[in-house]
Structure 1
């Protein structure tokens, strides 16, 4: 009997110790460097944001935050890597909105490997990026009316950062809604698309504002319309497609931080709180503006809802319009 009582007491003490250790474990995060994966090459908008956030997060957490570029297959390679990583908060993904739709537009089996809706832990939606239709100076277009009229009398094309991107989806939606047939010219990223529009090789591009902003004051590039419900504070003189008489052309881009599925709630809470504070920093807000991004923040559920909404809406658009990546 005495032995039994000792065993019960020992078990009770062990359980109490375990309960006490759980908060301590959460409070010890992070105890080693954090990897922030970017599923695209270095030098792009997502990479620039990752390095900005990484620097701020490192200062706040007291641990290095290393940006790890893992490009390929429209972001699927990097996303798959994070999906399969330990769910301990030390491997995170900064993903653009292509994350929601990449697997829907790929032709090959490289799209397999993760569940975009249920295979990750959403942490925070860091910002939104309005999409613009922009003309090169050589195209001679000052308004969207000019572009639509030209498209009905001659063969014109538009550049995008890649097949199956939100910019590609917007381009095909505009074609269908307006009744024009701009030919899609996909590029492997933002920089080469912008360069070819600047060089006059392609007259138009659907793009976020950051990469083209330096060329707008000198009229080397002319924004014709924004695909949002309201005018962008980053370019308040540019009309929305709805103002121009075309409804249903609201296609925005965003960035968000995800982790592997099953991350501890306390770790998610910690990261979410730090990111929300980072997004309020004046230098971060300013830098994001130069990249064409508007800080958002909020609870993890905001990112989850945005991801699910894009998957559903654009999944239908991709199927209806037959959009595929090369």
Structure 2
């Protein structure tokens, strides 16, 4: 897997959920903070979005996509309404708005504004720094010729939700997964000053990361990694540490343990098998490193992820 895929896979849990919202006239609705990531795609019309914490409201138009990667609470309103203190006070909770205008009502398809609103469930306890760096709001306005893959995914989602063809129950979740990847790609393409877009654009750091992610269980050393990348050991250490924020072997240790946490959460594999997959010779060695890094044992972590309680 590549670094972006690994970063997403490490935090994704469960399946995404989505609702189609159709509304006309003057309106204002509030979405509460969420322990995951929220997103909106404007399929028709336009609206305003104001995230919690202040700042100017964003004006969204047809084809625009917005990702709120840290689950910030926010308000949506029609584009003619100024989102001031008075508007915030009378904002209707989003769930109540959906109950009042379900997508299968007789009036479906006639709203002035049609949006896809949804959520991705994320495990924030082991967030990859690439995901942590995403801003509170990623606004990707529709522009002719920009991010064609994202535009195609939005068009396909609009058709699937509007036409209700056979197989939509499989197609829509798959398209939502693609949408998340394309939104992150688009952010990386536009935010050329960000740490991780810079890291993945650097030939030395990116090559080293690809090697570590491709085979985290390998017996990596600084010398072996430098030879794999084709640079001297001092050059690798200097470039990698400066850009990534930790030395290569420090990053490898963190990633191995993060990968172990993901396997503990998502599989029933025994600890010995997980230890081998992430580069530890014995379950004891993995347990010791895991406890030192995360302050809990692998067993307790797995029980907590399953919703149980350890004795």
TM-score (norm 1): 0.26
